[in-house]
Structure 1
Amino acid sequence: MDTPALDRTGPTPLHAQIKTWIEGQITSGAWPPRFKLKAEVDLAQELNVSRGTIRKAIADLIADGLLTQTHGRGTFVSPHVVEQPLADRLVTFSEDLISKGVPFETQVIEQAVVPAQGRIAALLRIAPGTEVFYLRRVRLVEGEPLILLNNYVVYARCPGIEQFDFTMARLFQVLEDHYHLRLENGRRTFQAIAANHDVAQRLAMAQGDPVMHVEQQAFLEDHTVIECSDIWLSGDRFRLVAAVSRPGRAGLGMTVAVVPNDSSPPD
Protein backbone atom coordinates (compact mmCIF):
# COMPACT_ATOMS: atom_id res chain seq x y z
CA MET A 1 0.00 0.00 0.00
CA ASP A 2 1.32 3.44 -0.94
CA THR A 3 1.40 5.58 2.19
CA PRO A 4 0.96 9.35 2.22
CA ALA A 5 3.71 11.81 3.04
CA LEU A 6 2.11 13.42 6.08
CA ASP A 7 3.07 16.95 7.08
CA ARG A 8 3.26 16.69 10.85
CA THR A 9 4.25 20.33 11.43
CA GLY A 10 1.89 22.20 9.09
CA PRO A 11 -1.54 23.68 9.86
CA THR A 12 -3.60 20.90 8.20
CA PRO A 13 -4.71 18.30 10.77
CA LEU A 14 -3.43 14.78 10.24
CA HIS A 15 -6.93 13.33 9.97
CA ALA A 16 -7.72 15.78 7.12
CA GLN A 17 -4.54 14.78 5.28
CA ILE A 18 -5.40 11.09 5.66
CA LYS A 19 -8.92 11.77 4.47
CA THR A 20 -7.56 13.48 1.34
CA TRP A 21 -5.20 10.55 0.73
CA ILE A 22 -8.01 7.98 1.03
CA GLU A 23 -10.19 10.08 -1.31
CA GLY A 24 -7.35 9.97 -3.84
CA GLN A 25 -7.08 6.18 -3.53
CA ILE A 26 -10.81 5.90 -4.26
CA THR A 27 -11.08 8.39 -7.11
CA SER A 28 -7.99 6.98 -8.85
CA GLY A 29 -9.48 3.49 -8.79
CA ALA A 30 -6.67 2.09 -6.65
CA TRP A 31 -9.36 1.24 -4.11
CA PRO A 32 -12.38 0.11 -6.18
CA PRO A 33 -16.00 -0.11 -4.94
CA ARG A 34 -16.34 -2.61 -2.07
CA PHE A 35 -12.58 -2.62 -1.45
CA LYS A 36 -12.02 -3.54 2.20
CA LEU A 37 -9.77 -1.19 4.15
CA LYS A 38 -7.30 -2.51 6.68
CA ALA A 39 -8.35 -2.42 10.31
CA GLU A 40 -8.06 0.95 12.03
CA VAL A 41 -5.31 -0.29 14.33
CA ASP A 42 -3.27 -1.54 11.36
CA LEU A 43 -3.72 1.70 9.40
CA ALA A 44 -2.71 3.70 12.47
CA GLN A 45 0.44 1.63 12.85
CA GLU A 46 1.38 1.91 9.14
CA LEU A 47 0.82 5.68 9.07
CA ASN A 48 2.34 6.21 12.51
CA VAL A 49 -0.68 8.08 13.85
CA SER A 50 -3.14 7.46 16.63
CA ARG A 51 -6.16 5.22 16.10
CA GLY A 52 -8.35 8.22 16.92
CA THR A 53 -6.88 10.11 13.95
CA ILE A 54 -7.72 7.21 11.63
CA ARG A 55 -11.19 6.94 13.12
CA LYS A 56 -11.87 10.65 12.53
CA ALA A 57 -10.76 10.45 8.87
CA ILE A 58 -12.91 7.37 8.27
CA ALA A 59 -15.92 8.93 10.01
CA ASP A 60 -15.69 11.99 7.75
CA LEU A 61 -15.53 9.78 4.65
CA ILE A 62 -18.52 7.75 5.82
CA ALA A 63 -20.43 11.02 6.27
CA ASP A 64 -19.44 11.98 2.70
CA GLY A 65 -20.72 8.65 1.40
CA LEU A 66 -17.34 7.42 0.16
CA LEU A 67 -16.98 4.67 2.77
CA THR A 68 -19.38 2.34 4.51
CA GLN A 69 -18.86 0.47 7.76
CA THR A 70 -20.48 -2.78 8.86
CA HIS A 71 -20.16 -3.96 12.44
CA GLY A 72 -18.14 -7.15 12.61
CA ARG A 73 -17.07 -6.96 8.96
CA GLY A 74 -15.06 -3.80 8.58
CA THR A 75 -14.85 -0.64 6.46
CA PHE A 76 -15.40 -0.71 2.70
CA VAL A 77 -15.31 1.67 -0.24
CA SER A 78 -18.92 2.52 -1.06
CA PRO A 79 -20.42 1.20 -4.28
CA HIS A 80 -21.36 3.80 -6.88
CA VAL A 81 -24.56 5.49 -5.74
CA VAL A 82 -27.24 6.36 -8.29
CA GLU A 83 -28.98 9.66 -7.56
CA GLN A 84 -32.60 10.11 -8.63
CA PRO A 85 -33.75 13.73 -8.81
CA LEU A 86 -37.11 14.55 -7.28
CA ALA A 87 -38.01 16.41 -10.45
CA ASP A 88 -41.10 17.70 -12.16
CA ARG A 89 -40.40 15.67 -15.33
CA LEU A 90 -41.45 12.07 -15.99
CA VAL A 91 -37.99 10.56 -16.47
CA THR A 92 -37.61 6.80 -16.17
CA PHE A 93 -34.83 5.31 -14.08
CA SER A 94 -33.22 3.84 -17.21
CA GLU A 95 -33.29 7.25 -18.91
CA ASP A 96 -31.68 8.77 -15.83
CA LEU A 97 -28.91 6.13 -15.86
CA ILE A 98 -28.31 6.74 -19.56
CA SER A 99 -28.14 10.53 -19.06
CA LYS A 100 -25.50 10.03 -16.34
CA GLY A 101 -23.47 7.66 -18.52
CA VAL A 102 -23.97 4.76 -16.11
CA PRO A 103 -23.92 1.42 -17.99
CA PHE A 104 -26.58 -1.06 -16.95
CA GLU A 105 -27.99 -4.46 -17.89
CA THR A 106 -31.62 -5.57 -17.85
CA GLN A 107 -32.84 -9.04 -16.94
CA VAL A 108 -36.47 -9.91 -17.69
CA ILE A 109 -37.99 -12.16 -15.04
CA GLU A 110 -41.47 -12.40 -16.53
CA GLN A 111 -43.62 -10.76 -19.20
CA ALA A 112 -47.19 -11.76 -19.95
CA VAL A 113 -50.73 -10.55 -20.57
CA VAL A 114 -52.68 -11.03 -17.34
CA PRO A 115 -56.00 -9.85 -15.84
CA ALA A 116 -55.72 -6.80 -13.59
CA GLN A 117 -56.79 -7.34 -10.01
CA GLY A 118 -57.41 -5.25 -6.92
CA ARG A 119 -54.94 -2.45 -6.35
CA ILE A 120 -53.48 -2.60 -9.89
CA ALA A 121 -56.90 -2.24 -11.51
CA ALA A 122 -57.60 0.71 -9.20
CA LEU A 123 -54.31 2.43 -10.05
CA LEU A 124 -54.94 1.96 -13.79
CA ARG A 125 -58.58 3.05 -13.37
CA ILE A 126 -59.89 -0.01 -15.19
CA ALA A 127 -62.36 -2.74 -14.29
CA PRO A 128 -60.96 -5.79 -12.46
CA GLY A 129 -60.24 -8.57 -14.95
CA THR A 130 -59.27 -6.17 -17.76
CA GLU A 131 -56.15 -7.35 -19.60
CA VAL A 132 -52.86 -5.68 -18.75
CA PHE A 133 -49.32 -6.29 -19.91
CA TYR A 134 -47.22 -7.35 -16.93
CA LEU A 135 -43.45 -6.86 -17.11
CA ARG A 136 -41.05 -7.79 -14.31
CA ARG A 137 -37.37 -6.85 -14.64
CA VAL A 138 -34.17 -6.26 -12.72
CA ARG A 139 -31.72 -3.51 -13.66
CA LEU A 140 -28.09 -4.31 -12.86
CA VAL A 141 -25.30 -1.77 -12.49
CA GLU A 142 -21.72 -3.03 -12.37
CA GLY A 143 -23.15 -6.54 -12.48
CA GLU A 144 -25.15 -6.11 -9.28
CA PRO A 145 -28.93 -5.74 -9.01
CA LEU A 146 -29.99 -2.17 -8.26
CA ILE A 147 -33.66 -1.85 -9.28
CA LEU A 148 -36.54 -4.32 -9.32
CA LEU A 149 -39.50 -3.22 -11.46
CA ASN A 150 -43.04 -4.54 -11.81
CA ASN A 151 -44.81 -2.66 -14.63
CA TYR A 152 -48.47 -2.95 -15.62
CA VAL A 153 -49.70 -1.41 -18.89
CA VAL A 154 -53.28 -1.19 -20.22
CA TYR A 155 -53.09 -3.86 -22.92
CA ALA A 156 -55.86 -2.44 -25.14
CA ARG A 157 -53.61 0.55 -25.88
CA CYS A 158 -50.62 -1.59 -26.93
CA PRO A 159 -51.68 -5.01 -28.31
CA GLY A 160 -48.78 -7.30 -29.10
CA ILE A 161 -46.36 -5.56 -26.75
CA GLU A 162 -45.56 -8.89 -25.12
CA GLN A 163 -43.58 -9.80 -28.26
CA PHE A 164 -40.87 -7.20 -27.60
CA ASP A 165 -37.49 -8.15 -26.15
CA PHE A 166 -37.31 -6.00 -23.04
CA THR A 167 -33.78 -7.03 -22.23
CA MET A 168 -32.91 -4.54 -24.97
CA ALA A 169 -36.02 -2.38 -25.46
CA ARG A 170 -37.21 0.15 -22.87
CA LEU A 171 -40.90 0.15 -21.98
CA PHE A 172 -41.71 3.87 -22.32
CA GLN A 173 -39.68 4.07 -25.50
CA VAL A 174 -41.77 1.25 -27.03
CA LEU A 175 -45.02 2.91 -25.95
CA GLU A 176 -43.99 6.22 -27.47
CA ASP A 177 -42.11 5.15 -30.59
CA HIS A 178 -43.99 2.01 -31.64
CA TYR A 179 -47.51 2.68 -30.35
CA HIS A 180 -47.32 6.47 -30.73
CA LEU A 181 -48.65 7.08 -27.24
CA ARG A 182 -47.69 10.39 -25.74
CA LEU A 183 -46.87 10.05 -22.05
CA GLU A 184 -47.67 13.45 -20.62
CA ASN A 185 -46.95 13.24 -16.90
CA GLY A 186 -46.83 10.93 -13.93
CA ARG A 187 -47.14 10.53 -10.20
CA ARG A 188 -44.62 8.86 -7.92
CA THR A 189 -44.87 8.03 -4.23
CA PHE A 190 -41.65 7.16 -2.39
CA GLN A 191 -41.54 5.10 0.79
CA ALA A 192 -38.65 3.48 2.64
CA ILE A 193 -39.55 -0.08 3.61
CA ALA A 194 -37.89 -3.33 4.68
CA ALA A 195 -37.26 -5.85 1.91
CA ASN A 196 -39.42 -8.95 2.04
CA HIS A 197 -38.05 -12.35 1.02
CA ASP A 198 -38.82 -11.96 -2.70
CA VAL A 199 -37.43 -8.44 -3.04
CA ALA A 200 -34.36 -9.34 -0.99
CA GLN A 201 -33.67 -12.34 -3.21
CA ARG A 202 -34.01 -10.31 -6.42
CA LEU A 203 -31.79 -7.49 -5.16
CA ALA A 204 -29.20 -9.82 -3.55
CA MET A 205 -29.67 -8.46 -0.05
CA ALA A 206 -30.80 -9.76 3.30
CA GLN A 207 -34.49 -9.90 4.16
CA GLY A 208 -35.30 -6.82 6.22
CA ASP A 209 -32.62 -4.65 4.63
CA PRO A 210 -33.84 -1.14 3.67
CA VAL A 211 -35.19 -0.53 0.18
CA MET A 212 -36.88 2.46 -1.41
CA HIS A 213 -40.28 1.54 -2.81
CA VAL A 214 -41.74 3.73 -5.56
CA GLU A 215 -45.37 3.53 -6.66
CA GLN A 216 -45.79 5.12 -10.07
CA GLN A 217 -48.64 6.08 -12.38
CA ALA A 218 -48.02 7.38 -15.92
CA PHE A 219 -50.68 9.46 -17.71
CA LEU A 220 -51.36 10.12 -21.37
CA GLU A 221 -52.13 13.60 -22.66
CA ASP A 222 -55.87 12.82 -22.40
CA HIS A 223 -55.29 12.26 -18.63
CA THR A 224 -55.98 8.52 -18.78
CA VAL A 225 -53.61 6.18 -16.95
CA ILE A 226 -51.53 4.05 -19.29
CA GLU A 227 -49.10 2.44 -16.83
CA CYS A 228 -48.55 1.83 -13.16
CA SER A 229 -45.62 0.18 -11.49
CA ASP A 230 -43.99 -0.91 -8.28
CA ILE A 231 -40.27 -0.20 -8.17
CA TRP A 232 -37.84 -1.24 -5.47
CA LEU A 233 -34.37 0.31 -5.25
CA SER A 234 -31.45 -1.01 -3.23
CA GLY A 235 -31.25 1.22 -0.16
CA ASP A 236 -27.45 1.47 -0.04
CA ARG A 237 -27.08 2.50 -3.68
CA PHE A 238 -29.93 4.96 -4.14
CA ARG A 239 -30.14 8.58 -3.11
CA LEU A 240 -33.15 10.84 -3.63
CA VAL A 241 -32.20 14.44 -4.40
CA ALA A 242 -34.55 17.40 -4.31
CA ALA A 243 -34.03 20.98 -5.42
CA VAL A 244 -36.26 23.20 -3.30
CA SER A 245 -37.02 26.89 -3.09
CA ARG A 246 -38.42 29.28 -0.54
CA PRO A 247 -42.19 29.95 -0.60
CA GLY A 248 -43.23 32.60 -3.08
CA ARG A 249 -40.41 31.86 -5.50
CA ALA A 250 -40.52 29.68 -8.58
CA GLY A 251 -39.25 26.17 -8.04
CA LEU A 252 -40.13 22.63 -7.16
CA GLY A 253 -42.29 22.05 -4.14
CA MET A 254 -42.00 18.98 -1.96
CA THR A 255 -44.62 17.43 0.31
CA VAL A 256 -43.69 15.02 3.08
CA ALA A 257 -46.43 12.76 4.40
CA VAL A 258 -46.21 10.66 7.56
CA VAL A 259 -47.38 7.12 6.82
CA PRO A 260 -48.19 4.22 9.17
CA ASN A 261 -45.24 2.06 10.22
CA ASP A 262 -46.03 -0.78 7.82
CA SER A 263 -42.89 -2.17 6.22
CA SER A 264 -44.56 -4.74 4.02
CA PRO A 265 -44.45 -4.02 0.25
CA PRO A 266 -47.66 -3.68 -1.77
CA ASP A 267 -49.59 -6.75 -2.88
Structure 2
Amino acid sequence: MEIDKNSLVPIYEQVMDYIKKKIEKGEWKKGDKISTEKDLMELFDVSRGTIKKAISLLVEEKVLTQKQGKGTFVIDENISFPLAEGLISFSESMKSQGIDFETELINLEKKKADEKIAEQLKINVGDDYLFIERTRTVHDEVVMFIQNNINIQLAPNIDTADYAHESLFNIVEKYSEHKVAYSETSFAAVPSTKTISELLHIEENSPLLYQEQLVHLEDDSIIELGRVWLKSNKFYVGSILQRL
Protein backbone atom coordinates (compact mmCIF):
# COMPACT_ATOMS: atom_id res chain seq x y z
CA MET A 1 0.00 0.00 0.00
CA GLU A 2 1.28 3.44 -0.89
CA ILE A 3 0.89 6.45 1.36
CA ASP A 4 -0.49 9.55 -0.31
CA LYS A 5 1.62 12.25 1.28
CA ASN A 6 -0.34 14.94 -0.57
CA SER A 7 -3.67 13.75 0.81
CA LEU A 8 -5.67 15.80 3.29
CA VAL A 9 -5.85 12.62 5.39
CA PRO A 10 -2.93 12.64 7.85
CA ILE A 11 -0.28 10.00 7.18
CA TYR A 12 -0.73 8.35 10.58
CA GLU A 13 -4.44 7.88 9.82
CA GLN A 14 -3.58 6.20 6.52
CA VAL A 15 -1.30 3.82 8.43
CA MET A 16 -4.11 3.13 10.90
CA ASP A 17 -6.47 2.39 8.02
CA TYR A 18 -3.97 -0.06 6.52
CA ILE A 19 -3.65 -1.95 9.81
CA LYS A 20 -7.42 -2.06 10.32
CA LYS A 21 -7.97 -3.42 6.81
CA LYS A 22 -5.39 -6.17 7.38
CA ILE A 23 -7.35 -7.19 10.47
CA GLU A 24 -10.75 -6.94 8.74
CA LYS A 25 -9.54 -9.18 5.90
CA GLY A 26 -8.33 -11.76 8.40
CA GLU A 27 -4.69 -11.41 7.39
CA TRP A 28 -3.96 -10.50 11.01
CA LYS A 29 -6.20 -12.41 13.40
CA LYS A 30 -6.92 -11.92 17.10
CA GLY A 31 -3.74 -12.53 19.04
CA ASP A 32 -1.49 -12.27 15.97
CA LYS A 33 1.70 -10.24 16.08
CA ILE A 34 1.72 -7.45 13.48
CA SER A 35 4.67 -6.09 11.52
CA THR A 36 7.40 -4.36 13.51
CA GLU A 37 7.68 -0.58 13.63
CA LYS A 38 10.82 -0.83 11.50
CA ASP A 39 9.04 -2.91 8.85
CA LEU A 40 6.12 -0.46 8.75
CA MET A 41 8.53 2.49 8.47
CA GLU A 42 10.20 0.86 5.46
CA LEU A 43 6.88 -0.17 3.91
CA PHE A 44 5.46 3.35 3.99
CA ASP A 45 8.72 5.32 3.91
CA VAL A 46 7.65 7.35 6.93
CA SER A 47 9.20 8.29 10.26
CA ARG A 48 9.15 6.17 13.40
CA GLY A 49 7.13 8.91 15.10
CA THR A 50 4.34 8.51 12.54
CA ILE A 51 4.20 4.74 13.05
CA LYS A 52 4.30 5.13 16.83
CA LYS A 53 1.39 7.57 16.71
CA ALA A 54 -0.70 5.25 14.53
CA ILE A 55 -0.04 2.28 16.80
CA SER A 56 -0.62 4.31 19.97
CA LEU A 57 -4.03 5.45 18.75
CA LEU A 58 -4.99 1.90 17.77
CA VAL A 59 -3.99 0.76 21.26
CA GLU A 60 -6.29 3.45 22.70
CA GLU A 61 -9.08 2.19 20.42
CA LYS A 62 -8.41 -1.33 21.76
CA VAL A 63 -7.58 -2.63 18.29
CA LEU A 64 -3.96 -3.42 19.20
CA THR A 65 -2.07 -4.22 22.36
CA GLN A 66 1.66 -3.91 23.07
CA LYS A 67 3.64 -6.44 25.10
CA GLN A 68 6.97 -5.24 26.42
CA GLY A 69 9.85 -7.00 24.74
CA LYS A 70 7.53 -8.99 22.45
CA GLY A 71 5.93 -6.54 20.04
CA THR A 72 2.49 -5.34 18.98
CA PHE A 73 -0.46 -7.71 18.68
CA VAL A 74 -4.04 -7.64 17.48
CA ILE A 75 -6.03 -7.42 20.68
CA ASP A 76 -7.41 -10.72 21.89
CA GLU A 77 -10.84 -10.10 23.38
CA ASN A 78 -11.65 -11.47 26.82
CA ILE A 79 -13.61 -14.69 26.83
CA SER A 80 -17.09 -14.33 28.26
CA PHE A 81 -18.70 -16.99 30.42
CA PRO A 82 -22.40 -16.03 30.60
CA LEU A 83 -24.17 -17.30 33.71
CA ALA A 84 -27.68 -16.50 32.54
CA GLU A 85 -27.67 -18.48 29.29
CA GLY A 86 -28.20 -21.93 30.75
CA LEU A 87 -25.71 -24.58 31.80
CA ILE A 88 -22.94 -24.87 29.23
CA SER A 89 -19.36 -26.07 29.46
CA PHE A 90 -16.37 -23.78 28.89
CA SER A 91 -15.68 -25.49 25.56
CA GLU A 92 -19.28 -24.93 24.45
CA SER A 93 -19.09 -21.28 25.53
CA MET A 94 -15.84 -20.69 23.62
CA LYS A 95 -17.17 -22.40 20.49
CA SER A 96 -20.30 -20.23 20.59
CA GLN A 97 -18.05 -17.13 20.61
CA GLY A 98 -16.07 -18.37 17.62
CA ILE A 99 -12.90 -18.79 19.67
CA ASP A 100 -10.47 -21.45 18.45
CA PHE A 101 -8.81 -23.41 21.23
CA GLU A 102 -6.79 -26.55 21.83
CA THR A 103 -7.16 -28.95 24.75
CA GLU A 104 -4.21 -30.89 26.13
CA LEU A 105 -4.88 -33.96 28.24
CA ILE A 106 -2.31 -34.01 31.04
CA ASN A 107 -3.57 -36.82 33.21
CA LEU A 108 -6.36 -39.42 33.21
CA GLU A 109 -6.51 -42.08 35.90
CA LYS A 110 -8.86 -43.98 38.16
CA LYS A 111 -8.50 -43.09 41.82
CA LYS A 112 -9.96 -44.31 45.09
CA ALA A 113 -12.31 -41.81 46.72
CA ASP A 114 -11.22 -40.30 50.03
CA GLU A 115 -13.80 -38.96 52.48
CA LYS A 116 -14.03 -35.52 50.87
CA ILE A 117 -14.46 -36.75 47.28
CA ALA A 118 -16.85 -39.48 48.42
CA GLU A 119 -19.02 -36.93 50.18
CA GLN A 120 -19.08 -34.57 47.19
CA LEU A 121 -19.80 -37.24 44.56
CA LYS A 122 -22.14 -39.16 46.90
CA ILE A 123 -20.16 -42.39 46.58
CA ASN A 124 -18.51 -44.65 49.14
CA VAL A 125 -15.01 -44.12 50.48
CA GLY A 126 -12.71 -46.34 48.43
CA ASP A 127 -14.96 -46.37 45.36
CA ASP A 128 -13.29 -45.72 42.01
CA TYR A 129 -13.73 -42.34 40.34
CA LEU A 130 -12.12 -40.87 37.23
CA PHE A 131 -9.62 -38.04 37.73
CA ILE A 132 -8.74 -35.89 34.70
CA GLU A 133 -6.40 -32.91 34.29
CA ARG A 134 -6.38 -30.74 31.17
CA THR A 135 -5.27 -27.34 29.92
CA ARG A 136 -6.84 -25.14 27.25
CA THR A 137 -4.83 -22.93 24.90
CA VAL A 138 -6.04 -19.94 22.88
CA HIS A 139 -3.69 -18.26 20.36
CA ASP A 140 -0.70 -20.20 21.74
CA GLU A 141 -1.45 -19.03 25.30
CA VAL A 142 -2.55 -21.44 28.02
CA VAL A 143 -5.62 -19.78 29.57
CA MET A 144 -7.10 -22.41 31.89
CA PHE A 145 -6.33 -25.51 33.93
CA ILE A 146 -9.15 -28.00 34.51
CA GLN A 147 -9.61 -30.86 36.96
CA ASN A 148 -12.58 -33.21 36.58
CA ASN A 149 -13.64 -35.81 39.14
CA ILE A 150 -16.21 -38.11 37.52
CA ASN A 151 -18.51 -40.62 39.18
CA ILE A 152 -17.81 -43.62 36.97
CA GLN A 153 -20.45 -45.68 38.77
CA LEU A 154 -22.99 -43.66 36.75
CA ALA A 155 -21.12 -43.81 33.43
CA PRO A 156 -19.42 -47.14 32.64
CA ASN A 157 -16.42 -46.97 30.28
CA ILE A 158 -16.34 -43.17 30.42
CA ASP A 159 -12.56 -43.44 30.89
CA THR A 160 -12.29 -44.46 27.20
CA ALA A 161 -13.67 -41.15 25.86
CA ASP A 162 -11.62 -38.55 23.96
CA TYR A 163 -11.24 -35.74 26.49
CA ALA A 164 -8.90 -33.74 24.27
CA HIS A 165 -11.49 -33.22 21.54
CA GLU A 166 -14.99 -33.78 22.94
CA SER A 167 -17.07 -31.60 25.26
CA LEU A 168 -17.24 -33.01 28.78
CA PHE A 169 -21.02 -32.62 28.93
CA ASN A 170 -21.42 -34.49 25.63
CA ILE A 171 -19.23 -37.29 26.96
CA VAL A 172 -21.16 -37.47 30.24
CA GLU A 173 -24.52 -37.64 28.47
CA LYS A 174 -23.27 -40.27 26.04
CA TYR A 175 -21.86 -42.66 28.64
CA SER A 176 -24.39 -42.10 31.42
CA GLU A 177 -27.34 -42.17 29.00
CA HIS A 178 -28.84 -39.28 30.97
CA LYS A 179 -29.05 -35.55 30.28
CA VAL A 180 -27.01 -33.07 32.28
CA ALA A 181 -29.64 -31.09 34.19
CA TYR A 182 -28.05 -28.46 36.43
CA SER A 183 -25.00 -27.55 38.46
CA GLU A 184 -24.14 -26.01 41.80
CA THR A 185 -21.46 -23.49 40.88
CA SER A 186 -19.27 -21.10 42.85
CA PHE A 187 -16.55 -18.63 41.83
CA ALA A 188 -13.67 -17.17 43.82
CA ALA A 189 -10.53 -15.10 43.30
CA VAL A 190 -7.47 -17.15 44.27
CA PRO A 191 -3.66 -16.88 43.94
CA SER A 192 -1.93 -19.37 41.67
CA THR A 193 0.01 -22.21 43.25
CA LYS A 194 3.46 -23.22 42.06
CA THR A 195 2.09 -26.17 40.05
CA ILE A 196 -0.68 -24.20 38.37
CA SER A 197 1.68 -21.27 37.69
CA GLU A 198 3.97 -23.62 35.78
CA LEU A 199 1.06 -24.98 33.73
CA LEU A 200 -0.29 -21.51 32.91
CA HIS A 201 3.19 -19.99 32.42
CA ILE A 202 2.61 -17.23 34.96
CA GLU A 203 4.30 -16.07 38.15
CA GLU A 204 3.41 -17.82 41.39
CA ASN A 205 0.62 -16.08 43.36
CA SER A 206 -0.77 -14.43 40.22
CA PRO A 207 -4.52 -13.70 40.50
CA LEU A 208 -6.79 -16.38 39.05
CA LEU A 209 -10.53 -16.89 38.72
CA TYR A 210 -11.46 -20.22 40.31
CA GLN A 211 -14.67 -22.10 39.51
CA GLU A 212 -15.97 -25.16 41.33
CA GLN A 213 -19.13 -26.97 40.33
CA LEU A 214 -21.10 -30.11 41.06
CA VAL A 215 -22.90 -31.33 37.94
CA HIS A 216 -26.21 -33.16 38.35
CA LEU A 217 -27.96 -35.46 35.91
CA GLU A 218 -31.70 -35.36 35.24
CA ASP A 219 -32.32 -37.94 37.98
CA ASP A 220 -30.57 -35.56 40.45
CA SER A 221 -27.50 -37.79 40.85
CA ILE A 222 -24.08 -36.12 40.91
CA ILE A 223 -21.93 -37.09 37.94
CA GLU A 224 -18.99 -34.71 38.24
CA LEU A 225 -17.06 -32.38 40.52
CA GLY A 226 -15.20 -29.86 38.38
CA ARG A 227 -12.50 -27.39 39.33
CA VAL A 228 -11.23 -24.78 36.88
CA TRP A 229 -8.48 -22.16 37.28
CA LEU A 230 -8.67 -19.35 34.73
CA LYS A 231 -6.37 -16.44 33.93
CA SER A 232 -8.26 -13.47 35.32
CA ASN A 233 -7.10 -11.20 32.50
CA LYS A 234 -8.64 -13.54 29.90
CA PHE A 235 -12.08 -14.34 31.30
CA TYR A 236 -15.00 -12.47 32.73
CA VAL A 237 -18.21 -13.88 34.12
CA GLY A 238 -21.35 -12.07 33.05
CA SER A 239 -25.05 -12.24 33.77
CA ILE A 240 -28.20 -10.31 32.92
CA LEU A 241 -30.45 -9.96 35.95
CA GLN A 242 -34.03 -8.78 35.87
CA ARG A 243 -35.45 -6.69 38.70
CA LEU A 244 -38.57 -8.26 40.18
Pairwise same-fold verdict (TM > 0.5): yes
**Whole-angstrom distance in 2 between the partners of 1:99 and 1:155:** 29
Please say if residues 139 and 146 of structure 1, whose CA atoms lie closer than 8 Å, have aligned partners that are also in contact: yes
Identify if the C-alpha distance between structure 1 residues 245 and 99 changes in structure 2 by more than 3 Å, giving closer, same or farther. Answer: closer
Please, what is the CA RMSD of the aligned residues? 3.6
Q: More displaced, 190-199 or 172-181?
A: 190-199
Alignment of 1:250-261 (within 5 A): none
Q: Which residue matches 2:195?
A: 198
Q: Which moved more, 1:92-101 or 1:179-188?
A: 92-101
Q: How far does the alpha carbon of each residue in 1:63-113 deviate from its partner, in whole angstroms, 9 at most, with x for none?
A: x3x333334555433346433222341111122233344443332211122
Distance 1:131 1:152 in 2: 10
The answer for the alignment partner of 1:35 in structure 2 is 33
Asked if structure 1 preserves the Cα contact closer than 8 Å seen for 2:129 and 2:151, the reply is: yes
CA distance in 2, matches of 1:143, 1:53: 28
Q: What is the CA distance between 1:35 and its match in structure 2?
A: 0.9
In 2, Cα distance between the equivalents of 1:211 and 1:195? Answer: 6
Q: 1:51/1:115 Cα in 2 relative to 1: closer, same or farther (>3 Å)? A: same
CA change 1:207–1:48 in 2 (3 A) is closer
Q: TM-score, normalised by structure 1?
A: 0.70
Report the identity percentage: 24
Match of 2:46 in 1: 46
| Cα 1:232/1:27, change in 2 over 3 Å | farther
Corresponding residue for 1:150? 147
CA distance in 2, matches of 1:202, 1:138: 8
CA deviation digits over 1:3-24, x for unaligned, max 9?
Answer: 66589757xx987776555333
| Residue aligning to 1:247 | 243
Distance 1:230 1:72, change over 3 A: same
Using the alignment, how far apart are the partners of 1:120 and 1:100 within structure 2? Answer: 33
Aligned to 1:60: 60
2:111 is paired with a residue whose SS is: strand
TM-score for the superposition, normalised by structure 2: 0.75
Q: Is the 8 A contact 1:193 1:210 kept in 2?
A: yes
Question: Is 1:140 equivalent to 2:137 in the alignment?
Answer: yes
Instruction: Show CA shifts across 1:110-165 (max 9, x none).
Output: 11221233554443344544332111122334454333211011222123322333
- Pairing 1:91–2:96 present: no
Q: 1:47 to 1:22 in 2, by over 3 A?
A: farther
Unaligned 5+ runs, structure 1: 249-267
Q: Could you tell me which residue of structure 2 aligns to residue 252 of structure 1?
A: none
- Alpha carbons of structure 1 residues 104 and 74: separation in structure 2 relative to 1, 3 Å: closer
- The Cα of 1:185 is off from its aligned counterpart by 0.6
Q: Could you list the runs of 5+ residues in structure 2 that have no partner in the other structure?
A: none
> Paired residues, what number?
240
Residue 230 of structure 2 corresponds to: 233
| 3-state SS in 2 of match to 1:90 | coil
In 1, Cα distance between equivalents of 2:167 and 2:76 = 25
Aligned partner of residue 156 in structure 1, secondary structure? coil
Contact 1:217–1:228 (Cα < 8 Å) also in 2: yes
Q: Is the 8 A contact 2:15 2:51 kept in 1?
A: no
Pair 1:245–1:109, CA change in 2 (3 A) = closer
Are 1:187 and 1:216, in contact at CA under 8 Å, matched by a contact in 2? yes
Amino acid at match of 2:238: A
